[in-house]
């Protein structure tokens, strides 16, 4: 599942989960198969079967309408054998509304405004003011009190749940993602061509980027390479990586209950000076302010740069795309760069989007419990592997305890299209692929190992508690982002950088900081 993860000076937020099921008080007529609240020992027969006067009668499938997004030219279909198997094991009838990612946030806003909502709604921009206000106004069910009743939902990360709360309450189920995804990959063949060692520090990395730009690393006799690439929208992953090398806080610094935006710290300024040096010496693409993410990825795949600042879960795909153009290309994973304050990685929020349950569509507590039971059931190993690999004997087989695809990649991807959007599990129960690319395996392991290095965003759960942030976050982001670009490009100096900070404060930033401090203090009582 690829997800577009772009840097912005302030991140996203939201949510949580919940559940309960058939066989207990309040259970509805359509409980998904195999789902029962934790601790329920009243029945040993599978949910979806009931009894009356000693006779068992199957329960009707739970009807679910779900709105989610897709990233492909054509929307997924839920009519193939994998989707049918999913509905069979969960005893559901799923009616999917697929909305392209480019239109999804607007669709959510329009759906809320018109109160035309499905029973299960994905929210990707979970900190948008319209959505937060709708949640605060009572449009969606609070699910926190139910979570303890469901074995799998109750086992989800309390840290992620805490960061998605609104006014201290859980309204949604988050789609789990690793915390330590940031990673650096590098052209290993270029290092070998130039007799360079793998970089370990920011200064090492600068020297490598310089050599990759100036010393014809691909040996084609042309001056046509960069050390590293960036794209617009917060310069892509460039700033989060490099700022973390210098020890800058993740979006916000909290000290004694007071907050400071990361871009106002000395460590962040050191990172900007480093990036400005890359720009001044043309070690980075000079048109990054108008470069789209896909353009940047294409340039890297075409061999136009030697360092990729991205995500470790993309490394296998990166190597595959590179080899399509240059079969001799080799990449290597660079373990965390150690800056002046040691090794640090900006933590991801730990989720990408959340699922919410509108009261206008889910009209009773019993129905809510059935829907939560569906998501609980989806975290059992058989369901996780169905969503990951498809139907055993069709899309894959088990070989030595690992999954082995039995259909071509194009067929597999088409069969599995859209299923990943329903996943909220952390991937720990899925089968490992046999013959997995070693780089992919290494990337997955580093994602786990580097969790101990992450620097979290201390304000994630406070975004919802600041009315000023809800109203002015876009304006405040733009002030910081525009100032950052101007500094990197040499259009403003350090004194003018201080003016950017003053402008941010006057535009509502100071009020945001006050509201954050008040909400933080209240949360500690």
pLDDT value of position 28 = 36
pLDDT value of position 234 = 54
In angstroms, the CA 217 to CA 223 distance is 10
Q: What count of other Cβ atoms lies within 10 Å of the Cβ of residue 232?
A: 18
CA 416 to chain centre: 19
Q: Among 269, 187, 213, 275, which Cα is nearest to 238's?
A: 275
Bridge partner list, 122: 355
Q: Among 365, 332, 377, 33, which Cα is nearest to 188's?
A: 332
Q: Which is more confident, 17 or 198? A: 198
Q: Which is more confident, 320 or 269? A: 269
In angstroms, the CA 434 to CA 317 distance is 17
121 pLDDT exceeds 90?
Answer: yes
pLDDT value of position 432 = 86
Q: Which is more confident, 13 or 149? A: 149
CA distances from 307 to 226, 242, 263, 342 (A): 8, 13, 24, 21
* DSSP-H helix ranges across 77-136: 81-90, 101-114, 129-136
Read off the pLDDT band of 56 (50, 70, 90).
Answer: low
Write down how long the chain is.
525
Q: Which residues contact 195 (CB under 8 A, 6 or more apart)?
A: none
Under DSSP, the state recorded for 460 is: G
Q: What count of other Cβ atoms lies within 10 Å of the Cβ of residue 222?
A: 8
Tokens of 400: 């030595």
In angstroms, the CA 161 to CA 147 distance is 11
In angstroms, the CA 10 to CA 177 distance is 18
Phi (first) and psi of residue 257, to 5 degrees: 85, 0
pLDDT value of position 235 = 53
- Strand 454-455 and strand 345-346: pairing? parallel
What mean pLDDT comes out for the span 170-199? 94
Q: What count of other Cβ atoms lies within 10 Å of the Cβ of residue 304?
A: 15
**Which domains are assigned to the chain?**
60-178+350-378 (3.40.190.10), 182-346 (3.40.190.10), 460-523 (no CATH)
Q: Which is more confident, 160 or 285? A: 285
Handedness of CA 72, 78, 84, 85 (dihedral sign): positive
Tens digits of residue pLDDT in 217-263: 999 999 999 999 998 865 568 999 999 999 999 999 999 999 999 99
Tens digits of residue pLDDT in 269-307: 999 999 999 999 999 999 999 998 889 989 999 999 999
Angle at which helices 467-488 and 129-136 cross, to 10°: 160
Q: What count of other Cβ atoms lies within 10 Å of the Cβ of residue 319?
A: 21
% the chain with pLDDT above 70: 88
11 pLDDT exceeds 80?
Answer: no
Bridge partner list, 285: none
Bridge partner list, 351: 176
What rounded mean pLDDT belongs to the chain?
87
Lowest-pLDDT choice from 28-37, 100-109, 312-321, 359-368: 28-37
Read off the pLDDT band of 357 (50, 70, 90).
Answer: very high
Q: Are 202 and 246 in contact (CB under 8 A)?
A: yes
The beta strands (E) that lie in 59-180 are given as 62-70, 92-100, 120-123, 173-176
What mean pLDDT comes out for the span 393-413? 94
pTM as predicted: 0.74
Tens digits of residue pLDDT in 449-477: 998 999 999 998 888 889 899 889 989 99
pLDDT value of position 236 = 60
Q: Are 347 and 182 in contact (CB under 8 A)?
A: no
pLDDT value of position 303 = 95
pLDDT value of position 14 = 32
What mean pLDDT comes out for the span 354-382? 98
pLDDT value of position 20 = 30
347 pLDDT exceeds 70?
Answer: yes
Q: Which is more confident, 32 or 193? A: 193
b or e along 279-290 (b: 16 or more beta carbons within 10 Å of the residue's beta carbon)?
A: beeebbbeebee
Tokens of 206: 């600068």
pLDDT value of position 53 = 38
Tokens of 309: 């600042």
In angstroms, the CA 240 to CA 189 distance is 26
pLDDT value of position 12 = 34
Handedness of CA 41, 47, 52, 55 (dihedral sign): negative
Phi (first) and psi of residue 6, to 5 degrees: -115, 145
């Amino acid at each position: 599942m690829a997800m577009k993860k772009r840097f912005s000076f302030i991140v996203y937020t939201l949510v949580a989960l919940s559940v309960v099921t058939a066989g207990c008080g309040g259970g509805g007529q359509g409980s998904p198969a195999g789902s029962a609240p934790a601790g329920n020992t009243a029945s040993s027969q599978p949910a979806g079967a009931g009894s009356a006067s000693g006779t068992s009668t199957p329960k009707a499938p739970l009807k679910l309408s779900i709105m989610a997004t897709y990233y492909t030219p054509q929307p997924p279909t839920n009519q193939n054998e994998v989707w049918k198997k999913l509905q069979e094991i969960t005893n559901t009838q799923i009616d999917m509304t697929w909305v392209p990612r480019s239109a999804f946030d607007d669709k959510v806003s329009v759906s809320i405004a018109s109160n035309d909502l499905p029973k299960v709604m994905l929210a990707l921009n979970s900190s948008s003011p319209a959505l937060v206000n709708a949640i605060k106004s009572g449009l969606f069910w609070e699910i926190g009190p139910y979570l303890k009743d469901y074995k799998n939902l109750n086992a989800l990360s309390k840290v992620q749940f805490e960061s998605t709360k609104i006014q201290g309450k859980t309204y949604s189920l988050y789609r789990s993602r690793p915390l330590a995804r940031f990673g650096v990959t590098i052209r290993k063949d270029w290092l070998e061509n130039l007799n360079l060692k793998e970089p370990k520090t920011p200064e090492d990395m600068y020297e490598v980027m310089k050599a990759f730009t100036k010393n014809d690393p691909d040996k084609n006799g042309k001056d046509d390479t960069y050390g590293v690439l960036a794209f617009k929208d917060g310069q892509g992953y460039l700033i989060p990586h490099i700022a973390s090398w210098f020890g800058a806080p993740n979006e916000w610094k909290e000290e004694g209950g007071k907050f400071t935006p990361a871009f106002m710290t000395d460590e962040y300024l050191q990172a900007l000076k480093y990036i400005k040096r890359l720009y001044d010496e043309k070690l980075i693409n000079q048109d990054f302010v108008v470069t789209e993410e896909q353009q940047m990825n294409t340039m890297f795949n075409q061999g136009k740069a030697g360092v990729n600042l991205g995500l470790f879960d993309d490394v296998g795909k990166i190597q595959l795309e590179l080899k399509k153009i240059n079969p001799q290309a080799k990449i290597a994973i660079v373990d965390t760069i150690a800056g002046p304050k040691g090794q640090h990685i900006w933590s991801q929020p730990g989720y990408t989007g959340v699922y919410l349950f509108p009261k206008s569509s889910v009209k009773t507590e019993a129905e809510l419990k059935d829907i939560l039971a569906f998501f609980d059931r989806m975290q059992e190993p058989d369901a996780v592997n169905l969503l990951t690999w498809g139907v055993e004997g069709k899309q894959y087989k088990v070989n030595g305890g690992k999954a082995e695809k039995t259909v071509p990649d194009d067929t597999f991807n088409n069969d599995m299209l859209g299923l990943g959007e329903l996943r909220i599990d952390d991937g720990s129960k899925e089968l490992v692929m046999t013959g997995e690319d070693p780089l992919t395996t290494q990337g997955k392991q580093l994602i786990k190992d580097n969790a101990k290095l992450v620097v979290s965003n201390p304000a994630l759960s406070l975004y919802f508690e600041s009315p000023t942030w809800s109203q002015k976050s876009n304006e405040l982001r733009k002030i910081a982002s525009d100032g950052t670009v101007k500094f990197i490009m040499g259009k403003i100096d350090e004194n003018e950088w201080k003016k950017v900070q003053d402008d941010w404060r006057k535009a509502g930033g100071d009020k945001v900081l006050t509201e954050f401090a008040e909400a933080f203090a209240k949360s500690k009582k």
